[in-house]
Structure 1
């Protein structure tokens, strides 16, 4: 049986650290255009208590999504013949927004730009993008797995890259959640009894489609044509808490495994409180207690929410033993799960070779 195994990983973590004190002088408004009356230290402290974010990473003004994706790809491709890639799949949602121009630039695709930057000559290295919300990188992994298991591909590079700092409304308190980054993974065909064991994806667009969307700034005197990311945080929390555990359990059932077989759960780094609530609900759903304290590594506290880049970044750090207190070894089972705009949810079960 052909399976897809991860043979290498890489990430780009922007060097600029932006602490919560950065927002002390911000002017925050509500969706109604009325300035929030609470003092900024109180607003910041409340958001920290909910999300767990004390700092986040922003890309420098000179770089774009393509630049970060390229840097992550270089690390993932170390020791690998880049001309042997059958696919380059890039998960991203906003293209190459620049520091001096917020207009989305997606033509050509970010994947094609990365292929060009890598100087790959092979015309059959197919490059395309996936705009799938925060679960985009994981969905790219799922699509690459289909190609590999079908026999049409042997090797694929899957990248998640996003610059959220430039499309976050500085007058919306939610801007403190978002960050920038990129992560990359190389998948290969293998006959090992390991690799990707199962995956599940769902899209709840009937009544949840607008929970995450684009909209105008909340500042009443600065309305223009620029659009910024907006979300109904409380409703997303309720949706994720109800649905993500179900999808994770479905993927475990599909793989013929129990939750007790899982060594690590890599959850999209969106909100620490939400992730811990999802974990608790998952263990309740599976009838397993207690919850191992080290089962869910977190980087949101210092990296923020970089959308499609959160899980591949987390995976890279885990694989390279750069997460304190977290190690994995051959035969270990990990679960990856994400939720985001669409509304989309996906989960994957993976056994390390």
Structure 2
């Protein structure tokens, strides 16, 4: 059988660390366009209590999304030990392309995947660049697409990158601006023939496009006098929270059942992270569906020091664990992990991945 296996991973984190104190003097508004009367200290304290986010990374002005995506890609390719000319596809997950740091103009032509191919110096005309815009679940959906290409025997080696510079897409007057951050993660997915199944075992995707379509959109600033970008991230936090807790745990359970697996077969759950309180509740609800409680250290967390890096969250976390840089978390031979995400549209997806016995 043909297995779809991650043979190399990498990530890039900007050097600029932005702590919560950075926002103390920001003017924040409510959804009705009224300035919040609370002090910056009070707003930050409440924010940290809910999200657990203490700091995040922002790119410097001389870097674009495609630049940091390329850096993560280089590491993944090196770890995989392949020649980049051997790649059949480069799939790039992102939400805003390259964003100019001054005018905040979104640029997706050429595509981010094409820019990555160019930056890597790949001359292979049969290496196809493919962009994925799927909200925060975009990287996992890209991994699923890469798996389907491999299973269909139209590709053997695929670079899957997730990257965003969300610091340039936020509304500076919306408290949700403190959630978002910048970063990039990448893996190389390869076809490996074996009599034993490992790699991507199963996957599932659900797309909600009813009222959920308005839960996370781009719109004008909630500050009526803001003269910056006319397109900023606008999130209905309560709606998203309720949607996630209602829909993600049963979706993961259904995937496990479809795979003839139990929650006790899973060694790690790598969740996309935007809000620690929400992630903790998600895990608790998942295990409650099985009439049990979550074991300690089942769900690695990075949101406290990296914030929400959107499509970069899961591949970055994967790479940090592979590098033994997210103690006490480790991957072992034969481990089965779940990688799951939820985000704009709203989309929900998950992958079950098993490490080989070698």
Structure 1 residues 146-157: aligned runs within 5 Å: 146-157=148-159
Q: Structure 1 residue 154: deviation in Å? A: 0.5
1:262 corresponds to = 266
1:80 corresponds to = 82
Equivalent-residue separation in structure 2 for 1:260 and 1:205 (angstroms): 33
Equivalent-residue separation in structure 2 for 1:280 and 1:225 (angstroms): 39
Is 1:9 aligned to residue 9 of structure 2? yes
Q: Structure 1 residue 232: deviation in Å? A: 0.4
CA contact (8 A) 1:102 1:226 kept: no
Secondary structure at the aligned position of 2:186 is classed as strand
Deviations 1:127-176 (A, max 9, x none): 01111000000000000000001111101000000000011111111100
Deviations 1:14-47 (A, max 9, x none): 1111001101111111122110011111111111
Secondary structure at the aligned position of 1:348 is classed as strand
Equivalent-residue separation in structure 1 for 2:220 and 2:66 (angstroms): 25
2:45 corresponds to = 45
Secondary structure at the aligned position of 2:69 is classed as helix
CA contact (8 A) 1:136 1:308 kept: yes
Equivalent-residue separation in structure 2 for 1:224 and 1:320 (angstroms): 40
Q: Structure 1 residue 231: deviation in Å? A: 0.5
Is 1:196 aligned to residue 200 of structure 2? yes
Equivalent-residue separation in structure 1 for 2:230 and 2:257 (angstroms): 44
Give the one of 95, 98, 122 matched to 1:96.
Answer: 98
> Tell me, which stretches of 5 or more residues in structure 1 are unaligned?
none
Q: Structure 1 residue 223: deviation in Å? A: 4.2
2:304 corresponds to = 301
CA contact (8 A) 1:112 1:127 kept: yes
Secondary structure at the aligned position of 1:165 is classed as helix
Q: Structure 1 residue 225: deviation in Å? A: 5.3
CA contact (8 A) 1:3 1:190 kept: yes
Equivalent-residue separation in structure 2 for 1:224 and 1:338 (angstroms): 30
Deviations 1:234-277 (A, max 9, x none): 11001000111111112212222110010000000111000010
1:315 corresponds to = 318
The normalised TM-score by structure 2 is: 0.97
The normalised TM-score by structure 1 is: 0.98
Q: Structure 1 residue 191: deviation in Å? A: 2.6
Q: CA RMSD in A?
A: 1.0
Task: Name the CA shift for 1:121/1:300 in 2 (closer, same or farther; >3 Å).
Answer: same
Structure 1 residues 316-331: aligned runs within 5 Å: 316-331=319-334
1:340 corresponds to = 343
Structure 1 residues 149-188: aligned runs within 5 Å: 149-188=151-190
Is 1:115 aligned to residue 111 of structure 2? no
CA contact (8 A) 2:104 2:229 kept: no
Q: Structure 1 residue 321: deviation in Å? A: 1.2
Give the one of 210, 218, 224 matched to 2:222.
Answer: 218
Q: Structure 1 residue 224: deviation in Å? A: 5.6
Number of residue-to-residue matches in the alignment: 352
CA contact (8 A) 2:16 2:57 kept: yes
Deviations 1:59-100 (A, max 9, x none): 111101000100000000102110111110000010100211
Equivalent-residue separation in structure 2 for 1:271 and 1:107 (angstroms): 32
2:248 corresponds to = 244
Q: Structure 1 residue 290: deviation in Å? A: 3.0
Secondary structure at the aligned position of 2:246 is classed as helix
1:290 corresponds to = 293
Q: Structure 1 residue 293: deviation in Å? A: 1.1
Equivalent-residue separation in structure 1 for 2:133 and 2:185 (angstroms): 16
1:142 corresponds to = 144
CA contact (8 A) 1:137 1:309 kept: yes
CA contact (8 A) 1:25 1:40 kept: yes
1:35 corresponds to = 35
